[in-house]
Structure 1
Amino acid sequence: MDNRTDPRFTARQQGMPGTAVPRAGGASFDAGLRKHMLSVYNYMASGVLLTGLVAMFTASSGFINNFFTPTGPSILGWVVMLSPLAFVLALSFGINKMTTPVAQAVYWAFAVVMGLSMSTIFLTYTGASIAQVFFATAGAFAGLSLWGYTTKKDLSGMGTFLIMGVIGIIIASVINLFLKSSMFDLVISILGVLIFAGLTAYDTQKIKNIYFQVAGTEFAGKAVIMGALSLYLDFINMFMFLLRLFGSRE
Structure 2
Amino acid sequence: MALYDRADSRNAYAEDSLLHESELVGFVKTTYKFFAGSLLLATIGALLGLMNFQAVVQYKWVFFIAEIAVLFGLMFSKSKPGLNLFMLFAFTALSGVTLVPLLGMVIAKAGLGAIWQALGMTTIVFGLMSVYALKTKNDLANMGKMLFIALIVVLVCSLINLFLGSPMFQVVIAGASAILFSLYIAYDTQNIVKGMYDSPIDAAVSLYLDFLNVFISILQIIGIFSDRDK
Deviation at 1:205, TM superposition (A): 1.2
Residue 6 of structure 2 aligns to which amino acid in structure 1?
R
Matches of 1:44 and 1:24, distance apart in 2: 20
Structure 1 stretches lacking a partner, 5+ long: 1-5
Within the alignment, does 1:49 sit opposite 2:31 as a pair? no
Whole-Å separation in 2 of the counterparts to 1:190 and 1:78: 25
1: CA distance between counterparts of 2:67 and 2:134?
28
1:224 CA displacement: 0.4
TM-score, L = length of structure 2: 0.86
d(CA) in 2 for partners of 1:166 and 1:234?
A: 12
Which one of the candidate residues 120, 126, 133 is aligned to 1:135?
A: 120
Distance 1:121 1:24, change over 3 A: closer
Aligned equivalents of 1:24, 1:120: Cα separation in 2:
42
The equivalent of 2:99 in structure 1 is 118
Contact 1:14 1:95 in 2 (8 A): no
Matching residue of 1:64: 53
Over 3 Å counting, the alpha-carbon distance change for 1:178 and 1:24 in structure 2 is closer
Query: Partners of 1:149 and 1:22 in 2: how far apart?
Result: 21
CA shift for structure 1 position 57: 2.3
Q: Rate the CA distance shift 1:224–1:148 in 2: closer, same or farther, 3 A.
A: same
Which residue pairs with 1:172 in the alignment?
157
2:227 is aligned with 1:246:
no
Q: How does 1:1-250 map to 2 (within 5 A)?
A: 6=1, 8-17=2-11, 19=13, 29=21, 31-59=22-50, 61=51, 63-69=52-58, 74=59, 77-96=60-79, 98=80, 100-125=81-106, 126-210=111-195, 223-247=199-223, 248=226
In the superposition, the TM-score normalised over structure 1's length comes to 0.80
Return the structure number with greater helix share: 2
Q: What letter is aligned with 2:69?
A: A
Distance 2:221 2:56 in 1: 25
Distance 2:149 2:24 in 1: 30
Deviation of 1:228 after TM superposition, in Å, equals 0.3
Corresponding pairs, count: 221
Unmatched segments (≥5 aa) in structure 2: none
Q: How much has 1:186 moved relative to structure 2?
A: 1.4
Q: Which stretches of structure 1, 4 residues or more, deviate above 3 A after TM superposition?
A: 13-16, 18-25, 247-250
CA 1:188 to 1:13, structure 2 compared with 1: closer, same or farther past 3 Å? Answer: same
**What fraction of aligned residue pairs are identical, expressed as a percent?**
27
> 2:138 aligns to what SS in structure 1?
coil
For 1:22 and 1:151, the matched residues in 2 are separated by 23
Contact 1:14 / 1:92 at 8 angstroms: preserved in 2? no
* 179 and 228 in structure 1: CA distance in 2 versus 1, 3 angstrom threshold: same
* Distance in 2 between residues matched to 1:49 and 1:174, nearest whole Å: 30
